Amino acid sequence: MKIVNVYEPGKVILFGEHFVVHGSKAVAFAIDKFVKVSVTKSDFLSVEISFPGDPVIKDKVIRHPPEHVSSNVFLNYIVNLTRKFNIGNVRINVEVGFPVAAGLGSSASIAAAVTKALYTYKYGIVPSKEVIYEIANQLEVEIHGNPSGIDLNTILERGIVLYDGLEKRIVNKLDSGDFTFIVSDTIDRRSTGKLVKSVSLIKNEMSDLFNMLVSIADKISSYGFELLVKNDVEKIGRLMSINHGLLSAIGVSTTKLDYLAHRAIELGAYGAKLTGAGGGGCLICLCESQKAKEILQTFNSLGYPSFIVKPYYGDEKIEYE
């Protein structure tokens, strides 16, 4: 096999982030923006990661010639995997087609795509989701400390999922539905691990109250999933805004995220919330498809790079040359 190209989607959390780490359910969906990994035969081992979809680091390229010991977690993960699979000399090219460290699951998507591409290159068969999960989750643990598993599960499963943070598995799935979401990037980058720790501090300080918030998030997520099944966009939007308030209450929103959430509603969105760990990163809003253009133009002109995302319900995206 000469070349393997693998595409793995990013993800958006619609309801229940942070609380899912403490056992609530959460709703997430795979997005129609991808990490692409190519593996090609070469005379020496090289790795290159570029970020064409990230407005902050779009001109940056991270490289790993074999003589360098790298401190970048992604490069280390990739180089270690080539050793684990005893893959020899290959050129690995990773292109991240959406913002990184911004709530869209870039680390899980990179880990899954690289694992799938190297495994397929080596063994000539596509690994099962379980095999990818087990290997890729090691990177998630290294980066995030205590991941709920929602990112990797959503990315590998595709579609819209209801994830149970207690059972650490997908308990329901939606394979269709035409929703128009806009993602807006605050351009502020942050660490998921640090934000997850900051929320744990609140749990330690006031556990009874925190557990009540977890059960509210659990209800929001279950109800939100029902609304998605019914395609009730107005109520989904209202629930997103309620969820944003809850995330604000535990200190993971920012001035920019709050501003964008209010502005989205003023511009006619059904609802808006931060997505992922917060502390910067991205806002997601749900709107009528005719409203999307105006919201996109306004947010882009205010300096918040924005784009439309839709749930990705598609199959395996893998090419052989």
Active site residues: 151
Q: Using the 8-state DSSP alphabet, how is residue 37 labeled?
A: E
- CA gap 64, 68 in Å, rounded: 7
**Residue 227 CB, nearest approach to ligand PMV (Å):** 20
Q: What is the DSSP string of 239-300?
A: HHHHHHHHHHHTT---HHHHHHHHHHHHTT-SEEEEETT-SSSEEEEE--HHHHHHHHHHHH
**Residue 297 CB, nearest approach to ligand PMV (Å):** 26
Q: Are strands 46-50 and 90-96 parallel, antiparallel or unpaired?
A: parallel
- CA gap 69, 263 in Å, rounded: 46
In the complex, which residues of this chain contact ligand PMV (CB under 6 A)?
13, 17-18, 20-21, 103, 105, 144, 147-148, 150-151, 192, 196, 276-277
Closer to ligand PMV by Cβ: residue 217 or 296: 217
CA count, 13 A, side-chain hemisphere, 287: 25
Closer to ligand PMV by Cβ: residue 189 or 238: 189
Please give the residue whose beta carbon sits closest to ligand PMV in the complex: 276
Residues of 144-179 as b/e, b for ≥16 C-beta within 10 angstroms? beebbbbbbbbbbbbbbbbbbbeeeebebbbeebeb
68-75: long-range contacts, CB 8 A cutoff, minimum separation 24: 73/139, 73/142, 73/143, 74/49, 74/107, 74/110, 74/139, 75/47, 75/49
Q: Are 209 and 187 in contact (CB under 8 A)?
A: no
Which candidate, 252, 253, 288, 244, places its Cα nearest to that of 269?
A: 288
Which candidate, 33, 100, 108, places its Cα nearest to that of 317?
A: 33
- CA gap 111, 57 in Å, rounded: 19
